[in-house]
């Protein structure tokens, strides 16, 4: 047995022993434990289980009923659940063991990570005992451990070292076809599990090729030909995935620019400073955003210090004698630094944000800080190698103190950093009966059975308070218990839920879902899309409901209720907007109402009613367009009573270009032109919408009737129409369009009812 193979097996055994020591009995009962009971984690496991048990093909039907979602966007680790689904067709239903399968895959991913790191190190260094020690240290400090607490599909520690190893073998020029195929297959598998995996390697490969060509510019043609297989292997999986989504994803209105790019980036602190729970961070310095966490540890710092010393002492011989490393490792290091700069949001956060508008796919990243993981692995390997050649040189010169000091620094540094890193998963990783609570409890079917009802009587569920997250424009996430109720009911009864916690959902489908909990004067467009006239099963948790949700419950019939959950039957007829009654109200009162221009209202005198509509425009057709600020009102409201509540409302188009929506802003200025009051709307928490437009509003009191009131829309993409300012207790009708349609309190009332 060769020395390399012997130490590789020792690495495997040592890493396996460490995994067993860390997780203990969890390894033997993985289905009974859970890292963190959070929305992301629960959603991921429940969606995987629902798909395996009830779905097929590329469509996930468990959420966003009646539309569903493409399985790739459902964060369900598509290749894994597809495999489990095939097994189910063969008679092996493992849908109830998803937590155990995922937990086992995450925990045992330590071992292949150590294997690939050992193989990479062994290609540079033939002291394999040292490679074994280093591979385990780098593995145990992996920043991906943070993903054990929720983003399970990103928690496979071995992925980046594995692809880096394949890159190295491809560049060696031997058996290129084999390594190309391995790279393509693994990138497809993991890329379809989470698209970020493809992005990591594509960017790393591009940076690597750029540096490689630069370093081999004297033989550019040969260098380019040598890089071609690597380029094909890294980009072909993306092309295949893009083609798959192009022809199988029916959604065309996913938001193009998600939230997060300028919030979830890495920084010097997140890469080089220990986290606050690490004893070495005795000054309690903040180490940046969690999404950018890629701490290189004491060993990384040791390599950095040795490199800095060498830079100073060998300044004149910089070109040839500073980076003492093999060519592949040097090229990888420079490439990883380019990737690191991108993870810092560089150069975009230096006032060059506009560049993102021209970079297409780059706009899609909400957490570029994760790209710092590339630098962590590469720099850690480089640091280990750099430390080793110094240890070897000191040993030859019999400098025992330096050898002993640096080696002990590595041992104790890694031990401290690793123990601190493991706190991320050990502290929250407590026994939790996930299978019992979410798979085996049958909370809805058992309640229905006791009430003499059946899930077959309903077409879907709606959990209240509504939980709907993923469109980037709207964030209804304050009641996780409702999400859990909907997910559990879906697996229990096969009833899909209208609520959602998927990534990058259709904007129009999201808006239709939110209409169900919007003002009663908004048409429920989803009614036309329901495939059945069966009622909806409401799942109401003890959390506080909005006024509109309370109205929805009041229109429903109670089935059963207890301290944790109430079930109601909601007939579809109860969702129709009362347009007929409003039309009758307007027609019977119109002649007796006070009229001011296009506005009718009941008041003893002239009420302070102001508004405008875009001329020659149909409802929800077009509006006034502007970037920055659009002034809606800027005047003193002479008749304003300081005790009176006013409502300002306006409709603005909802665009898919960005996660941002214009904000409705109200400012009140005193006689000295000082702001005495400022209110700002929160569009992402407002469900009022119709036909691709959102109704924003603010309610306020004036501090002084002589103060100037300024109302405006503020944002990048603004297209607004139908502004109205009125006393909140005064009903205002307006009829700026011909054809019989009109508006009540700035809600559109069509001329004729449209019933699905």
pLDDT digits (tens, 9 = 90+) for 175-217: 899 999 999 999 999 999 999 999 999 999 999 999 999 999 9
Residue 607 pLDDT greater than 80, yes or no: no
The residue among 755 and 271 whose pLDDT is bigger is 271
The SS3 assignment for 397 reads coil
pLDDT at position 755 is 41
Mean of the per-residue pLDDT values of the chain? 90
Residue 357 pLDDT greater than 80, yes or no: no
Residue 278 pLDDT greater than 90, yes or no: no
Question: Do 62 and 486 meet the contact criterion of CB atoms below 8 Å apart?
Answer: no
When mean pLDDT is compared over 39-48, 62-71, 398-407, the highest value belongs to 62-71
When mean pLDDT is compared over 248-257, 474-483, 515-524, the highest value belongs to 515-524
Q: How far apart are CA 122 and CA 135, in angstroms?
A: 10
- 430: confidence class by pLDDT, cuts 50, 70, 90: low
Percent of the chain with pLDDT over 90: 64
Question: Do 371 and 343 meet the contact criterion of CB atoms below 8 Å apart?
Answer: yes
Q: What is the CA radius of gyration of the chain?
A: 31
Cis-peptide into 465, omega within 30 deg = yes
Residue 409 pLDDT greater than 80, yes or no: yes
Tell me the mean pLDDT in the region 494-506: 94
When mean pLDDT is compared over 81-95, 401-415, 547-561, the highest value belongs to 547-561
Q: Which strands form 732-734's sheet, in the order they lie side by side? A: 594-596, 599-601, 732-734, 742-744, 747-749
Structure tokens at 36: 């963190």
Cα separation values, 736 from 95, 170, 615, 631, Å: 57, 69, 8, 20
Residue 276 pLDDT greater than 80, yes or no: no
pLDDT at position 425 is 64
Structure tokens at 451: 């009430």
Please give the CATH topology (third level) of the domain spanning 580-749.
Answer: Jelly Rolls (2.60.120)
Q: What is the largest CA-CA distance in the chain?
A: 105
> What pTM value is reported for the model?
0.91
The per-residue pLDDT for range 303-341, each reduced to its tens digit, is 899 888 888 777 665 555 566 789 999 999 999 999 999
Residue 279 pLDDT greater than 80, yes or no: no
The per-residue pLDDT for range 285-296, each reduced to its tens digit, is 666 667 888 999
pLDDT at position 620 is 87
Residue 174 pLDDT greater than 90, yes or no: no
- 116: confidence class by pLDDT, cuts 50, 70, 90: very high
The residue among 378 and 307 whose pLDDT is bigger is 378
Helix (H) or strand (E) holding 102: helix 98-108
The per-residue pLDDT for range 245-274, each reduced to its tens digit, is 999 999 999 998 888 888 889 999 889 988
Which contacts (CB < 8 Å, 24+ apart) does range 132-136 have?
A: 132/7, 132/8, 132/10, 132/11, 132/14, 133/410, 134/381, 134/384, 134/388, 135/11, 135/15, 136/11, 136/14, 136/15, 136/18
Q: Which residues make Cβ contacts (< 8 Å) with residue 477, sequence separation at least 6?
A: 39, 467, 469
Location of each CATH 2.60.120 domain in the chain: 580-749
Tell me the mean pLDDT in the region 77-85: 94
Q: Which residues make Cβ contacts (< 8 Å) with residue 305, sequence separation at least 6?
A: none
pLDDT at position 736 is 67
Partners of residue 649 on adjacent β-strands: 697, 724
Percent of the chain with pLDDT over 70: 94
Residue 753 pLDDT greater than 80, yes or no: no
Helix (H) or strand (E) holding 289: none
- 34: confidence class by pLDDT, cuts 50, 70, 90: confident
pLDDT at position 745 is 95
- 756: confidence class by pLDDT, cuts 50, 70, 90: very low
Partners of residue 626 on adjacent β-strands: 718
Residue 738 pLDDT greater than 90, yes or no: no
Residue 457 pLDDT greater than 70, yes or no: yes
Helices then strands, each counted (H, E), the chain: 22, 24
Q: Beta strand pairing status for 460-464 and 536-540?
A: parallel
The residue among 279 and 567 whose pLDDT is bigger is 567
pLDDT at position 605 is 62
Q: How far apart are CA 511 and CA 466, in angstroms?
A: 13
The residue among 511 and 440 whose pLDDT is bigger is 511
Structure tokens at 62: 């468990």
pLDDT at position 282 is 59
The SS3 assignment for 431 reads strand
The per-residue pLDDT for range 645-690, each reduced to its tens digit, is 999 999 999 999 889 999 999 999 999 999 999 999 999 999 999 9
Q: How far apart are CA 74 and CA 356, in angstroms?
A: 26
Question: Do 240 and 341 meet the contact criterion of CB atoms below 8 Å apart?
Answer: no
The per-residue pLDDT for range 153-165, each reduced to its tens digit, is 999 999 999 999 9
pLDDT at position 711 is 96
Tell me the mean pLDDT in the region 99-126: 95
């Amino acid at each position: 047995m060769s020395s390399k193979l012997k130490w590789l097996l020792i690495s495997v055994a040592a890493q396996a022993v460490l995994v067993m020591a860390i997780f203990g009995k969890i390894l033997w009962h993985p289905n009974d434990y859970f890292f963190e009971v959070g929305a992301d984690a629960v959603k991921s496991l429940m969606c995987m289980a629902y798909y395996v048990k009830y779905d097929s093909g590329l469509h996930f039907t468990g959420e966003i009923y009646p539309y569903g979602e493409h399985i790739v966007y459902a964060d369900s680790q598509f290749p894994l659940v597809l495999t489990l689904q095939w097994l189910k067709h063969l008679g092996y239903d493992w849908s109830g063991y998803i937590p155990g399968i995922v937990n086992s895959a995450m925990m045992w991913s330590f071992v292949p990570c150590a294997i690939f790191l050992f193989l990479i190190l062994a290609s540079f260094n033939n002291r394999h005992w040292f490679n074994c020690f280093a591979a385990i240290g780098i593995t145990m400090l992996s920043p991906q451990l943070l993903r054990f607490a929720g983003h399970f599909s990103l928690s496979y520690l071995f992925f980046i070292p594995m692809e880096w190893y394949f890159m190295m073998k491809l560049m060696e020029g031997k058996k290129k076809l084999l390594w190309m195929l391995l790279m393509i297959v693994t990138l497809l598998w993991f890329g379809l599990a989470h698209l970020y995996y493809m992005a990591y390697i594509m960017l790393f490969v591009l940076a690597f090729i750029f540096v490689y060509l630069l370093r081999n510019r004297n033989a550019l043609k040969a260098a380019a030909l040598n890089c071609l297989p690597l380029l094909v292997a890294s980009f072909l999986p993306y092309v295949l995935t893009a083609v798959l989504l192009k022809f199988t994803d029916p959604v065309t209105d996913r938001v193009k620019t998600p939230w997060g790019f300028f919030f979830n980036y890495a920084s010097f602190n997140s890469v080089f400073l220990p986290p606050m729970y690490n004893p070495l961070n005795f000054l309690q310095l903040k180490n940046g955003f969690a999404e950018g966490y890629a701490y290189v540890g004491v060993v990384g710092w040791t390599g950095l210090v040795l490199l800095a010393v060498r830079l100073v002492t060998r300044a004149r011989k910089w070109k040839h004698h500073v980076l003492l490393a093999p060519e592949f490792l040097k090229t990888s290091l420079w490439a990883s630094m380019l990737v690191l700069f991108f993870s810092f949001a560089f150069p975009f956060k230096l006032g060059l944000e506009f560049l993102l508008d021209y970079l297409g796919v780059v706009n899609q990243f909400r957490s570029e800080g994760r790209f710092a993981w590339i630098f962590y692995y590469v720099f850690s390997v480089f640091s280990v190698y750099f430390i080793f050649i110094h240890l070897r040189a000191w040993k030859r010169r019999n400098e025992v103190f330096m050898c002993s000091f640096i080696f002990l620094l590595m041992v104790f540094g890694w031990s401290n950093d690793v123990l601190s890193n493991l706190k991320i998963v050990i502290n929250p990783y407590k026994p939790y009966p996930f299978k019992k609570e979410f798979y085996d409890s049958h909370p809805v079917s058992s309640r229905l059975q006791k009430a003499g009802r059946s899930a077959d009587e309903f077409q879907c569920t709606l959990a209240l308070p509504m939980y709907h997250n993923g469109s980037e424009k709207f964030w209804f996430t304050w009641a996780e218990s409702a999400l859990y109720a909907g997910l559990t009911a879906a697996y229990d009864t096969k009833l899909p839920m209208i609520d959602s916690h998927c990534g990058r959902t259709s904007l129009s489908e999201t808006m239709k879902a939110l209409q169900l909990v919007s003002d009663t004067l908004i048409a429920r467009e989803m009614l036309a899309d329901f495939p059945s006239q069966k009622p909806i099963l409401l799942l109401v948790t003890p959390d506080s409901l909005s006024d509109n949700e309370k109205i929805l419950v009041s229109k429903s019939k109670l089935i059963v209720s207890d301290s944790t959950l109430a079930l109601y039957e909601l007939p579809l007829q109860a969702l129709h907007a009362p347009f007929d009654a409003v039309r009758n109200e307007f027609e019977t009162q119109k002649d007796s109402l006070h009229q001011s221009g296009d506005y009718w209202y009941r008041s003893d005198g002239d009420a302070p009613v102001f508004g405008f509509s875009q001329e020659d425009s149909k409802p929800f057709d077009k509006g006034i367009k502007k970037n920055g600020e659009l002034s809606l009102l800027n005047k003193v409201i002479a008749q304003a009573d300081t005790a009176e509540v006013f409502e300002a409302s306006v409709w603005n188009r909802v665009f898919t270009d960005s996660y941002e929506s214009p904000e409705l802003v109200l400012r009140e200025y005193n006689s000295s032109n000082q702001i005495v009051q400022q209110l700002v709307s929160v569009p992402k928490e407002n469900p009022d919408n119709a036909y691709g437009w959102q109704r924003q509003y603010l309610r306020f009191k004036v501090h002084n009737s002589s103060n100037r009131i300024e109302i405006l829309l503020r944002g990048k993409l603004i297209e607004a129409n139908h502004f109205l300012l009125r006393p909140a207790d005064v009903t205002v009708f307006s009829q700026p369009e011909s054809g019989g349609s009109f508006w009540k309190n700035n809600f559109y009332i069509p001329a004729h009812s449209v019933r699905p």
